[in-house]
Structure 1
Amino acid sequence: MAKKSKIAKNEQRKVIAARYLARRRELKAVISSPSASPEEKGEAVVALQKLPRDASPTRIRNRDAADGRPRGYLRKFGLSRVKMRQAAHNGELPGVSKSSW
């Protein structure tokens, strides 16, 4: 089980990243636009740097939905490998069965 403060901090980062998503896209578009002048690009870079660090989606960590474990996360299930294995053994994941050959 991850610390509750780490889970809460990650949730807060998701909220902040969603809030600034449109603004970041606008600034990134200006920076990568070939038609923008160097002054406009410079202003966009400065504006992007002034945004909060947590506004960057890169800072969001995929965590297990059940217990918040940050490592061994499986995107398909939204669980860590440990919880996914337990859920599969208990028959809680539809369509998942042990392989045998």
Structure 2
Amino acid sequence: MLTSKQRAALRAAANTLDPVFQVGKGEIDEMLIKSTADCLAARELIKMKVLETSMYNAKEAAAILAEATGADVVQVIGSKFVLFLKKKKESKFEDILKAAR
């Protein structure tokens, strides 16, 4: 669980990120969940976008993907959301998380 200061620091770090995946008009399936989990394992912090044709809004999609991958929802703004999953070893966000405690 992230504190509000940690969440704010991660929001600042995610500000310059481009969305890596889009949630389209189909359902959130196992393939999207696996791809999101793999991307989180590699990057730790990712931004995603929900298309207007999707059956989910950004808050719903963020909650579903966060629960399925074990990630934390950092931010939901408009049609975009940010997920964070800290690596067990050698996290590049360790300094940000410690400073924000």
TM-score normalised over the length of structure 1: 0.26
* Structure with higher strand content: 2
TM-score normalised over the length of structure 2: 0.26
The structure number with the bigger radius of gyration is 1
